[in-house]
Amino acid sequence: MNFQNLCFFQHNFTEAEVDVAEIFSELAESISACYSKNTFPAKTAIYLFTPDAGVYHSIGLWENALAHGPDFANPKNFPWTLASCPASFLARILNAHGPNITLIGGKENLSQIQEWIKLHAAQGLIEVAIVVNLQNNFNGQNAGIGFCKGVVIFIETDFILNSNFWEVTQFFLKN
């Protein structure tokens, strides 16, 4: 779905996609489909919100450390749990060099994200903003089942964030 300066995307994960790198690679393809050029500009920011930010990977590391000792624990995807790592992981894949922020929680983060985008746009730090809602469910019961939805916002001189962000909010509020 495209509005002026907005491109929405959604990706549903399958049970087969349990590897974080694979999930982010698929997500990057969905996001890249919104951009007609080969690569995003360097001034691309990612604002990602997620309910757990990798809590299950953190628990997995400590379970592995208990079983094999801290020196031999396999970190697997533990870096995913570190502050802003989910947004940074995606930024590396997309080669985006703008501000990258991971927020813990859900749709209640949208007003804060809007304020960050306004600030970063006013400071000339961004040309493109990518807002991502990642519901990952990487736990043992439903590993890999989840979804990601988001929007690519093209910041231009005539772009009015307040009016267009209403459309963004409505998109994220739909189930």
Dist CA 34 CA 8 (whole Å): 8
- Do 24 and 89 contact (CB within 8 A), yes or no? yes
pLDDT tens-digit series, residues 12-56: 776 555 566 777 788 888 888 887 777 788 899 999 988 866 665
- Which domains are seen in the chain, by residue range? 2-55+83-173 (3.40.47)
pLDDT tens-digit series, residues 79-126: 554 555 778 878 888 888 889 888 888 889 999 999 999 899 888 899
Q: Is the pLDDT of residue 139 over 60?
A: no
Output DSSP code: residue 38.
S
47 compared with 5, residue with greater pLDDT: 47
Q: Is the pLDDT of residue 162 over 70?
A: no
Beta strands 146-154 and 6-13 are antiparallel
In this prediction, residue 2 carries a pLDDT of 40
CA nearest to 131, candidates 106, 112, 109, 152: 152
Ramachandran quadrant class, 91 (left: phi over 0; alpha: psi -120 to 50; beta: rest): alpha
